[in-house]
Structure 1
Amino acid sequence: MTIIIDPQSSGISGNMIIGALVDLGADKNELEEVMKKSAKIIGEINVIFDKINKKGIDATYCHVEMLDKKSHVHYNELVDKINALNLDESIKKTSLNVFKRIAIAESKVHGKNLDEIHFHEVGASDAVADVVGSVWAYYSLNLDKEKIIGLPISVGGGQVKTAHGILPVPAPAVLEILNGLNFKGGPVSSELATPTGCAIYAELCDEINEFIPLVKAKKTGYGAGSKDFDHPNVLRIIQTEDENEDDKIDVIETNIDHLTGEEIGYLFDVIMDAGASDVSITPIIMKKNRQGSLLKVISKKSKRDEIVNLIFKETGSLGIRIAPNIHRGLAKREFIKKTYEIEGKEYEVTFKIGYVNGEIISKRPEYEDLKRIAIDSGLSLRKVKEIIHE
């Protein structure tokens, strides 16, 4: 399964993430209790979940109301308080990773060390509730076992009022948190991406893609933002089913013009031993009319990096082409065993049978079995094939 976080139209915030995860099935009663207990390390809060409609899209809105306020909390103090919470270690660790991202961003913006950092908006009780609540919901849905893909965040535009005065959108802390990640401005003149939401997103996402990959949508959760625009102000989190991994392959290619025949043969063997699905080597004419070979490897994604590194090591190639996620048609396969008596001795032979639409399109004995019989019986391989005629 793949989970896609889509903040392309309306940005991202902590309460939008929580709303979308509740929409996906996180228990809002348990979540409310977790958020209240977590926020209490700084101050009392009230949590309300509502189903609201944003320009035609039904979404879950998580409203966190601070019942008392504290001007700020130091980063080290916040770490100690979160570590003291009665929560699973994984939830506390991930929550602290989120706050560390925020603290590092703040330290760079203000030119201070981490132990000097104190939070304003992001260290308030509602921000603690947003971070710990989002992380709790993430683990409660077992999303830590799934691949998380983030689409580029729309950060908005214009200006925003902060504890440090009027700042341009995106605010400096948001820029630091998103450093190295794809994001875009607009589509409105308003702040769409908060430091809390960006830090949660950056911590949870395994990769950032420009587009949604080839998947099958299973369920979508919508988390509503507090503002109203001409478009639905919602964050959506899409639960998907991947295409069958057996149908997808990576094709790895490189040209070779400096290896001997023996070295190419050795290369063929070590690549197959590394788990390649198939290897082919084709004679080609390269630039300046040099004779060479085209090495083409078919590999599953899980083996790709290992095989690419192996090719670099064994060939000294300066460039390897990779065509990822190529889809292939696969016939249904079945293996059956049959016993034959040859020269007074019984041999077991495995047949690979291929089906398309329920019809048998091929039925072939495995070469290794035929080779074993030929060697053992003293018959030619051709004669063994004639005897094993099915």
Structure 2
Amino acid sequence: MVVLIDPQQSGISGNMIIGALVNLGVDSRSVKEIMEYYGSHFGDVSVDIELINKSGIKASFANVKCSDHQAIAYKDLLETLNGITHEKVSSSVLKFAKKVFKTLALAESQVHGVDLDMIHFHEVGAADAVADIIGSSYAFHELGFAAKKVYGLPPALGGGRLKSDHGNLSVPAPATLEILKNVPVIGGPVEYELTTPTGAALLVNMVDEFVDFYPMIINQNIAYGAGKLDLEFPNVLRIVTGISSIPTDKISILETNLDDVTGEILGHTVDKLMEEGALDVTIIPTIAKKNRPGHLLRVITKSNMRDVLSEIIIRETGTLGVRTIPYVHRNIVNREIIPLKIDFNGQIRTVRVKVAEIGGEIVNVTAEYEDARKISNEMKIPLKDVIRIINQKTNLGE
């Protein structure tokens, strides 16, 4: 099973996450109990969770009421949380909640330019923030989502201005933007705050990978969590579960033409790029301008590495430019490296093999080249024979 969190219509907040997770089947009475229990250590909190109709969409609404919006230092909050226990809240749930609070605190620290130990939670208020984050963490783990692949779509941020302890601020709040660095987002579509700092912090800690499409077959559940605002469209967060189609990831492709570089430099550049994190490097013979023989250097890389690898290409080859195709989707299979003991003419050797799967079905198994080469050298057996023996022993054929 895979999970997708879809905040691209109405953004995301703590109570919307709780509502959607309850809508997926978490016991609302347990969630309410835990939220009120933890929140009560920081203020006066009451929680009502009910099924409502939000602009025609059936959704669960977690209404968190707090009459005491006291600020609290981040370090004091952690100390208090460490002293609270509840039979339904595991160490994993508490650890996850602390990660969310650290995300919030780091954002506030960056925005205000103060040390982490000096951070106080003003805007969210301690009691309702604790209720939202602990409640979301519990529900997320109760559904088993912490052990699943979780995708996220770009959150809608909203617009306009909001009142804060620091005066009127533009939406999104500075902390929200800080948390969502390197995450794709959508502006608007209304003059209200749609994505809150708490919602953003929960989102980035829950999501393994952000995408701009549904990378799944939706055959299980579609759930909705309602927000407080009544808008011209359904103000709901959608969470979807299903089964994985062929997995995809987002990569970048770097290219440059080289017609004045020696083979030694080309080989060194390939090694350097692979050492620094390139996923693949290819050199293609070609005819360059003025009919000169040359090479096309092509690099596949994770998108966050493209600037680093582009600089390496420029420094190592002397090229004056690197073409970048910034975001390319590629279909990939699940891969796992497994060590196997193989009998080579009466001698047992451990060989790592790469197993590729689609939907739990093994579609290919290949021996790791370095292991096969090492055995070939040690046992004085041709490499092609080593690979043939490995294929036969793993029932792969030629």
Report TM bin, short chain.
0.5 to 0.7
Question: Which residue of structure 1 lines up, in the alignment, with residue 72 of structure 2?
Answer: 73
Q: Secondary structure at the match of 1:21?
A: helix
Question: Which residue of structure 2 lines up, in the alignment, with residue 105 of structure 1?
Answer: 107
Which of 162, 169, 172 is equivalent to 2:171? 169
1:217 aligned to 2:218? Answer: yes
Letter in 1 for 2:10: S
Q: How far apart are 1:229 and its partner, in Å?
A: 0.8
Whether the 8 Å CA contact 1:35–1:132 is kept in 2: the answer is yes
Question: Which residue of structure 2 lines up, in the alignment, with residue 347 of structure 1?
Answer: none
Which of 222, 230, 244 is equivalent to 1:242? 244
Question: Which residue of structure 1 lines up, in the alignment, with residue 25 of structure 2?
Answer: 25
Q: Secondary structure at the match of 2:218?
A: strand
Q: Within 1, Cα distance between the matches of 2:283 and 2:184?
A: 39
Task: Decide which moves more: 179-188 or 231-240.
Answer: 179-188
Which of 121, 144, 147 is equivalent to 2:146? 144
Letter in 2 for 1:173: A
Q: How far apart are 1:165 and its partner, in Å?
A: 3.4
Whether the 8 Å CA contact 1:257–1:293 is kept in 2: the answer is yes
Extract unaligned runs of 5+ from structure 1: 266-277, 329-371, 377-390
Q: 1:11 to 1:245 in 2, by over 3 A?
A: closer
Q: Secondary structure at the match of 1:71?
A: coil
Q: Where do residues 239-318 of structure 1 align in structure 2 (5 Å cutoff)? A: 239-244=241-246, 284-291=286-293
Q: Within 2, Cα distance between the matches of 1:236 and 1:162?
A: 28
Q: How far apart are 1:113 and its partner, in Å?
A: 2.3
Q: Where do residues 150-229 of structure 1 align in structure 2 (5 Å cutoff)? A: 150-209=152-211, 211-218=212-219, 219-229=221-231
Question: Which residue of structure 2 lines up, in the alignment, with residue 331 of structure 1?
Answer: none
Q: Secondary structure at the match of 1:235?
A: strand
Q: 1:71 to 1:94 in 2, by over 3 A?
A: same
Letter in 1 for 2:38: S
Whether the 8 Å CA contact 1:254–1:317 is kept in 2: the answer is no
Q: How far apart are 1:45 and its partner, in Å?
A: 2.4
Q: Secondary structure at the match of 2:4?
A: strand
Whether the 8 Å CA contact 1:19–1:222 is kept in 2: the answer is yes
Extract unaligned runs of 5+ from structure 2: 268-279, 333-380, 386-398
Q: How far apart are 1:253 and its partner, in Å?
A: 8.7
Q: Within 2, Cα distance between the matches of 1:252 and 1:115?
A: 42
Whether the 8 Å CA contact 2:261–2:317 is kept in 1: the answer is no
Q: 1:317 to 1:128 in 2, by over 3 A?
A: farther
Q: 1:283 to 1:118 in 2, by over 3 A?
A: closer
Letter in 1 for 2:217: K
Whether the 8 Å CA contact 2:246–2:331 is kept in 1: the answer is no
Question: Which residue of structure 1 lines up, in the alignment, with residue 135 of structure 2?
Answer: 133
Q: 1:2 to 1:250 in 2, by over 3 A?
A: farther
Whether the 8 Å CA contact 1:155–1:191 is kept in 2: the answer is yes
1:85 aligned to 2:78? Answer: no
Letter in 1 for 2:216: V
Q: How far apart are 1:263 and its partner, in Å?
A: 12
Question: Which residue of structure 2 lines up, in the alignment, with residue 58 of structure 1?
Answer: 58
Letter in 1 for 2:174: P
Q: Within 1, Cα distance between the matches of 2:71 and 2:281?
A: 61
Whether the 8 Å CA contact 1:250–1:326 is kept in 2: the answer is no
Question: Which residue of structure 1 lines up, in the alignment, with residue 37 of structure 2?
Answer: 37
Whether the 8 Å CA contact 1:254–1:321 is kept in 2: the answer is no
Q: Secondary structure at the match of 2:217?
A: strand
Structure 1, residues 284-313: CA drift from partner, whole Å, max 9, x if none?
43444244577999x9x9xxx9xx9xxx8x
Whether the 8 Å CA contact 2:13–2:200 is kept in 1: the answer is yes
TM-score by length of 1: 0.66
Whether the 8 Å CA contact 1:39–1:45 is kept in 2: the answer is yes
Q: 1:19 to 1:324 in 2, by over 3 A?
A: same
Q: Who wins on radius of gyration, i.e. which is larger?
A: 1
Identity across matched positions, percent:
45
Whether the 8 Å CA contact 2:266–2:317 is kept in 1: the answer is no
Letter in 2 for 1:69: D
Number of residue equivalences? 326
Q: Within 2, Cα distance between the matches of 1:169 and 1:189?
A: 8
Q: How far apart are 1:320 and its partner, in Å?
A: 9.4
Question: Which residue of structure 2 lines up, in the alignment, with residue 16 of structure 1?
Answer: 16
Q: Secondary structure at the match of 1:227?
A: coil
Q: Within 2, Cα distance between the matches of 1:83 and 1:291?
A: 67
Q: Within 2, Cα distance between the matches of 1:262 and 1:115?
A: 53
Q: How far apart are 1:96 and its partner, in Å?
A: 1.4
Whether the 8 Å CA contact 1:250–1:324 is kept in 2: the answer is yes
Q: Within 1, Cα distance between the matches of 2:230 and 2:178?
A: 27
Whether the 8 Å CA contact 2:69–2:125 is kept in 1: the answer is no
Q: Within 2, Cα distance between the matches of 1:240 and 1:187?
A: 28
The two structures, once aligned, show a CA RMSD in angstroms of 4.6
